[in-house]
Structure 1
């Protein structure tokens, strides 16, 4: 639906401050068009703003694309921090509020709508390499700085318990098991899944407790939370960021050990050294968790569309391969 005039009026001061911070301190907005579009990766609507901006009287105006949305405090602060440390890996952003513990408006660079392909689609290895470089830079930058992130929630055993048994896997799994056709089609996988679910919380809690791997983690990295521009990856939607083990962010993007090795190599080039065997062992634990954590949507999709079997089996394979 198109935004009303109140959207534009409310956003105007933030848009002006953003273009003067990131485009030119002398920038003036001479034309402003908006459109509202729900974004798959976000829990809130994103308003897109196309601005015609004049920076001085001697040059023609230029077009600038921005987006605004109401973001939680963690996301606003993470975007500000990453904009200072790794500005090429996130959209530039500006907000008037870095203290209120509630959602507030933030304005960001519009990076377009090209998301990273999903794991069942062909993906150029250059995309994996861009992801590996970017994610390793972020993780390495904060490995020794977790005390500076004391305003972020910290992952603990209860976090994994909630994700698996309260929020995501178990409710969807029980809905699926109530269907006779599901039990018939996936009979051989059911005990494998339930065995993995019985141990994964303890396994992830132990992994998360290890020294040397706790850093800023996105915790919800998937294709829709990445935007591609000029072949380079930008990470968006940081509202679920935590301090936790870096392994949590790896498996959904690098869905095989061979692909994950590209991330390990990028981390090594940042002087963060993990032996291939130690890395793979920890990666496989996190991959089992990721399979359970994200299986929920495939189970619910399968109940209404049997063609979703391909996605159910994708996550089942992640538990066993």
Structure 2
């Protein structure tokens, strides 16, 4: 590990490392991906001390982070890995951003996130042929993976295995499949169009999620384990409402990308269902054995997004008022209707 840590130290111009020791890390900081993540305390020969994160990451994440590090790591932590060829997970040293994740009150946060994300997307737009390590979100990905294995298949499996879940949610399955397939067709069209393809994060979550840190006054994006060469719209769907998305659009144009706002808006709306599909399985696990009044808050939100294309609130822990509304629609059989 010390060789990898020294590589990061040189990237950050910290000097020579004297020794390492195990540091403390909470479960929340480790995340829920299952990857081995550790905090290591570093002591340099000049007496300076700081911590570094070590993560066992797949090749695509190691390469994505190297790419962003080489591009100046303005809004991503600097990283270093010795192995940039092996597909299997290997250790990567990551600049430690600490545990503070949310900006303090009064910070106009969304414009900063929009500016940073637009820069990352613009820098890597249309570079798929250069990034051979980055998997493409192509027809097979959307039709045979994202809207099936990752999402709706799990919903169907629970329907088949749990009589209570079947009685309460079974009626949604045909429309869920229909909307998911329509979404896949839209994403395939965007892939074939090629104009919006770039390095995407794929799992930015919402404003109360854990993948955008507040650090030194700037947003920093972490955990690129779900990165793909995909339409940039999928990175906007969970995080930005339509007003904030306009800020992102202006930043994209400022970075030299040519795109009419009408085309941007149409494609962004088509991508809204991405959030419901990518987080459907976690919401099913959260439901567990119910009852929905206690454990179904996130599931109802994801179903609403998929079934209607609406995105009522961009928060994981959304308002009690909205939950009450979705719960009533669910009980009345109107969750699938546009409001």
Q: Is the pair's TM-score, using the shorter chain for normalization, greater than 0.5?
A: yes
| Structure 2 counterpart SS, 1:47 | strand
1:45 is matched with which residue? Answer: 36
1:218 is matched with which residue? Answer: 201
Tell me the number of residue pairs that the alignment of Structure 1 and Structure 2 aligns.
300
Change (3 A) 1:304 1:75: same
2:326 is matched with which residue? Answer: none
The correspondence for 1:199, drawn from 182, 185, 205, is 182
1:4 is matched with which residue? Answer: none
Q: Is 1:143–2:133 an aligned residue pair?
A: no
1:241 is matched with which residue? Answer: 227
Q: Specify which structure has the bigger relative contact order, considering alpha-carbon pairs within 8 angstroms and separated by 6 or more residues.
A: 1
Per-residue deviation, 1:177: 7.2
Per-residue deviation, 1:171: 1.5
Assess if the C-alpha contact under 8 Å between 1:172 and 1:300 holds in 2: no
Superposition CA RMSD, Å: 2.8
Q: Which aligned pairs between 1:65-84 and structure 2 lie closer than 5 A?
A: 65-84=51-70
Structure 1 CA distance for aligned equivalents of residues 109 and 156 of structure 2: 32
Q: Which aligned pairs between 1:1-321 and structure 2 lie closer than 5 A?
A: 11-25=1-15, 27-29=16-18, 32-35=21-24, 38=27, 39-55=30-46, 61-115=47-101, 126-161=108-143, 162-176=145-159, 182=165, 192-222=175-205, 223-254=209-240, 256-305=241-290, 306=292, 307-319=294-306, 320=308, 321=310
Change (3 A) 1:208 1:123: farther
Structure 2 CA distance for aligned equivalents of residues 204 and 44 of structure 1: 29
Q: Which moves more between the two structures, 183-192 or 129-138?
A: 183-192
Change (3 A) 1:230 1:20: closer
| TM-score (normalised: structure 2) | 0.78
Gaps of 5+ in 1: 1-10, 56-60
Per-residue deviation, 1:123: 9.3
| TM-score (normalised: structure 1) | 0.82
Structure 1 CA distance for aligned equivalents of residues 34 and 50 of structure 2: 25
Deviations 1:120-144, CA, capped at 9 Å, x for gaps: xx99773322221111111101114
Structure 1 CA distance for aligned equivalents of residues 247 and 167 of structure 2: 38
Assess if the C-alpha contact under 8 Å between 2:20 and 2:40 holds in 1: no
2:336 is matched with which residue? Answer: none
Change (3 A) 1:281 1:116: farther
Change (3 A) 1:24 1:288: closer
| Structure 2 counterpart SS, 1:81 | helix
Assess if the C-alpha contact under 8 Å between 2:276 and 2:302 holds in 1: yes
Structure 2 CA distance for aligned equivalents of residues 186 and 171 of structure 1: 13
